[in-house]
Amino acid sequence: MAEFTMELNDEQKEVRDWLHGFAADVIRPAAAEWDEREETPWPVIQEAAKVGIYSLDFYAQQYFDPTGLGIPMVMEELFWGDAGIALSIVGTGLAAVGVLANGTEEQIGTWIPQMYGDASDVKVAAFCSSEPDAGSDVASMRTRAVYDEAKDEWVLNGTKTWATNGGIANVHVVVAVVDPELGSKGHASFIVPPNTPGLSQGQKFKKHGIRASHTAEVVLDDVRVPGSCLLGGKEKLDQRLARAREKAEKGGERVKNAAMATFEASRPAVGAMAVGTARAAYEVALDYAVTREQFGRPIIDNQGVAFQLADMRTSIDAARLLVWRASWMAVNGKPFTAAEGSMSKLFASETAKKVTAQAVQILGGNGYTREYPVERMHRDSAIYTIFEGTSEIQRLVIARTLSGMPIR
């Protein structure tokens, strides 16, 4: 087990500087254009693939970094560049984590490479969990998966929403209900291979922020997938469902479902995204405050501005430390006994919203225009307190974990 450290080693620093250069030289110059276009920035993803940033090998190296700091370091630097473009680059990772968290070794080796493609033929993947009536309330999920034993196929029907890369993905990972009586415990995850009949893109959403990232509905109409596309396999699923039924009858301990396993693994990474956006806005505001003069002196000479910047930097550093702690714990198999993963996501996402708002305020009228990036950063930051578990859900998870009570 690696010791917890707040210092990156030389190799990590080299990777961080490489990522920072890509974010500064490739992502930032393209940010405003793709935000306005509200389209997937395929040329930028292609560039990321060419240099090795968008690749299975790179993310595997970071994912298995024993310090746990690889993934949060990647997320912070890319999202420092631009949240919308960065999410287009890393969005495939959520589907990959879904397979890593629930799949067999064979499934991991078969499907994750197909999610990324290669530098000459870039692909993306989508993780499909939320539904029009089932976002935070995963127990209300309606998408059904029914097993056709005669053909050894699963038949999926339903509509997913808020899916990053939904409909344009090469591989979709879909969470569906296999046993409605078990509520959220009766869910399973399925791979929907490329060009599977019955899967189509529904509405593409026009969003407040992260507009360079494709978000859409995914419609499943009698989608048939082979039995081998059930993540973890049917034997493991049957055993898990049997335990869940037994525990439900006895009022036993809570059993985690497939979607929650994915979200728990990814929450610190979302916190790192928020840290990157907050840091970017803070740096713009600091530079502006030092160079902008009013009444014959830089505006940072005013305590009202200077103290805001002090609070902004303090919150950013605190958020990063929470993210790093949770990431280290996750990689080293330490249980989140105080919901440390949710803590990191909650504090970092709330910090991003507050810091970007303060940045707009410090820039005044300029901050409200699209001539300066803090306007876009402020719009982008709103998503962090919403996706992969709202701030309210994070507080609920934390409170339940601390108290052991079924707080509602």
CA separation for the pair 163, 173 (Å, rounded)? 10
Q: Greatest CA separation found in the chain?
A: 82
CA separation for the pair 297, 305 (Å, rounded)? 13
Q: Is 388 a catalytic residue?
A: yes
Report the chain's terminal Cα–Cα distance, integer Å. Answer: 36
> What amino acid occupies position 334?
K
CA separation for the pair 188, 142 (Å, rounded)? 12
Phi, psi of 264 (to 5 degrees): -60, -35
Evaluate the CA torsion angle 392, 395, 397, 399 in order and state its sign: negative
Query: Could you tell me which of 321, 318, 312 has the C-alpha nearest to residue 287?
Result: 312
Bin 7: left if φ > 0, else alpha if -120 < ψ < 50, else beta. Answer: beta
Catalytic residue among 105, 131, 388, 392: 388
Torsion, CA 319, CA 322, CA 324, CA 327, rounded to 10: -130
List the catalytic residues.
Answer: 388
